[in-house]
Amino acid sequence: AQSVTQPDIHITVSEGASLELRCNYSYGATPYLFWYVQSPGQGLQLLLKYFSGDTLVQGIKGFEAEFKRSQSSFNLRKPSVHWSDAAEYFCAVVVPGAGSYQLTFGKGTKLSVIP
Amino acid sequence: GAGVSQSPSNKVTEKGKDVELRCDPISGHTALYWYRQSLGQGLEFLIYFQGNSAPDKSGLPSDRFSAERTGGSVSTLTIQRTQQEDSAVYLCASSLSGSTLSYNEQFFGPGTRLTVL
């Protein structure tokens, strides 16, 4: 079965600093890859997704992610963090063609932003 | 248009009682998913509906959990004889279709926070 690992439970950055959140997946082929954000008391919002093609994908709110097949990674980046980015971030995968397209999530990384 | 809605937003119940959680998907979305978010287990898939049928129930943790969907729209997740370990946020998501060759984005509701005392 596929699995997703987010090694960092909690990250703190200063406002204006760059950000990288790590995600590794375990699956025989390349799954569909996603990053979601969850603000306190809110549902999950899709930031970006990768299915195939260009390995650098752009998302909403100034986020981008890079797929690296050799490392089975899909790390999320932002060049300059804003205080409003404080939230919990989840990496997720979907196995294409598996039927239900259920999302398998990592445990999440909580981002705190210091003003 | 309206997004996915869930009710109630919060539910406090006593151990051993039954609870029903409701999900109203986006109009026209034939696929519906239930997930559970708990401190210990993170976000877990529970069940998937395509129309009114549930071809994938593999995530339901025990036979105390059941779900139905009527009219291809509203879904109800029922937990019988609730236990303290059932305390979690239950999230519902819907998409245009869940079983075609192309993936359709899942849109999430705000969740129902269930607390079992």
Q: Nearest CB to A102: which of B4, B45, B110?
A: B45
Q: Give residue B99's pLDDT.
A: 57
pLDDT in tens, A3-43: 999 999 999 999 999 999 999 999 878 889 999 999 987 88
Cα B104 to Cα A64, A66, A94: the distances in Å are 20, 21, 11
Rounded CA-CA distance B95/B49 in Å is: 10
Rounded CA-CA distance A108/B50 in Å is: 28
Q: Give residue A98's pLDDT.
A: 67
Average pLDDT over residues B94-102: 73
What are the structure tokens assigned to B12, written together?
Answer: 């406090």
* Chain B contact set for A34 (CB, 8 A): none
Q: Mark B89-99 as b/e (b = at least 16 C-beta within 10 Å).
A: bbbbbbbbebb
pLDDT in tens, B58-80: 899 999 999 999 888 999 999 99
* Chain B contact set for A100 (CB, 8 A): 33, 48, 50, 55-56, 98-99
B51 touches chain A (CB under 8 A): no
Instruction: Please state the φ and ψ torsions of residue B102, each to the nearest 5 degrees.
Output: -110, 140
Give the closest residue to A78 by CA, choosing from A109, A41, A106: A109
Q: Please give the residue of chain A at the shortest CA–CA distance from B47.
A: A102
Give the closest residue to B50 by CA, choosing from A51, A44, A46, A101: A101
* Chain A contact set for B101 (CB, 8 A): 97
* Chain A contact set for B96 (CB, 8 A): none
Q: Give residue B54's pLDDT.
A: 86
Question: Is residue B109's pLDDT more than 90?
Answer: yes
Average pLDDT over residues B2-20: 96
Task: Tell if the CB–CB gap between B105 and A44 is shorter than 8 Å.
Answer: no
Q: Give residue A36's pLDDT.
A: 97
From A18-22, A65-69, B14-18, B52-56, the region with the lowest mean pLDDT:
B52-56
Q: Give residue A48's pLDDT.
A: 96
Q: Give residue B7's pLDDT.
A: 96
